[in-house]
Copies of this chain bind each other. A is one copy, B any other.
Amino acid sequence: MIYPSFDTLVEKVRDGAARRKVVAVVAAEDDHTLEAVAQARRDGILDACLIGRADKIRTLLAGLGEAAEDFRIVDAEDPVAAAKRAAELVRERTVDFVMKGKVQTADLLRAMLSSESGMRTGRLLSHFALVQIPNYHKLIGLTDVAINIAPDLAQKKEIVENAVATMRAIGFEPPKVALLSSAETVNPKMPETAEAAALTELNRGGWLPGCHVDGPISYDLAISAESARIKGYDSPLPGDVDLLVVPHISVGNILLKALRYSAGAASAGIVVGGRVPIVLTSRAVEAQDKFLPLVIAASVSGD
Cross-chain contact of A258 among B190, B230, B263, B264 (Cβ < 8 A):
B263
Interface flags for A207-232 (1: CB within 8 Å of B; 0: not) read: 00000000000111001100100110
Among A84-92, A107-115, A161-169, A244-252, the one that faces the other chain is: A244-252
A191: nearest residue on chain B (CB-CB)? B150
Cα–Cα distance between A259 and B220 once the two chains are bound (Å) = 10
Q: Is the CB of A254 within 8 A of B246?
A: yes
Chain B residues near A262: list those with CB within 8 A: 133, 135-136, 223, 258-259, 263, 265
Interface flags for A273-300 (1: CB within 8 Å of B; 0: not) read: 0000000000010000000000000000
Q: Is the CB of B149 within 8 A of A253?
A: no
Total residues of chain A contacting the partner, CB 8 A = 41
A136: nearest residue on chain B (CB-CB)? B262
Q: Is the CB of B251 within 8 A of A192?
A: no
Q: Is the CB of B251 within 8 A of A250?
A: yes
Cα–Cα distance between A250 and B194 once the two chains are bound (Å) = 14
Cross-chain contact of A220 among B247, B255, B257 (Cβ < 8 A):
B257
Cα–Cα distance between A250 and B263 once the two chains are bound (Å) = 19
Q: Which chain A residues numbered 136 to 186 have a C-beta less than 8 Å away from chain B? A: 136, 149-150, 180-183
Chain B residues near A149: list those with CB within 8 A: 187, 189-190
Q: Is the CB of B135 within 8 A of A250?
A: no
Cross-chain contact of A182 among B254, B263, B264 (Cβ < 8 A):
B254
Q: Is the CB of B261 within 8 A of A223?
A: yes
Interface residue A58 (Cβ < 8 Å from any Cβ of B): no
Q: Is the CB of B258 within 8 A of A258?
A: yes
Cα–Cα distance between A190 and B190 once the two chains are bound (Å) = 17
Cα–Cα distance between A219 and B180 once the two chains are bound (Å) = 19
A227 with B284: in contact, given A251-B254, A254-B251 (CB under 8 Å)?
no
Cα–Cα distance between A251 and B265 once the two chains are bound (Å) = 19
Q: Is the CB of A254 within 8 A of B219?
A: yes
Chain B residues near A220: list those with CB within 8 A: 257, 260-261
The CB with the most chain B CB atoms within 10 A, among A150, A227, A250, A265, is that of A250
Q: Is the CB of A254 within 8 A of B255?
A: yes
Chain B residues near A265: list those with CB within 8 A: 262
Chain B residues near A284: list those with CB within 8 A: 230-231
Q: Is the CB of A227 within 8 A of B180?
A: no
Chain B residues near A135: list those with CB within 8 A: 262, 264
Ordered by A's residue number, 20 sampled pairs between the chains whose C-beta atoms are within 8 Å are A135-B262, A135-B264, A136-B262, A149-B190, A150-B190, A181-B253, A182-B250, A190-B250, A192-B250, A219-B254, A219-B258, A220-B260, A220-B261, A223-B261, A250-B251, A251-B251, A255-B258, A258-B258, A258-B263, A262-B263
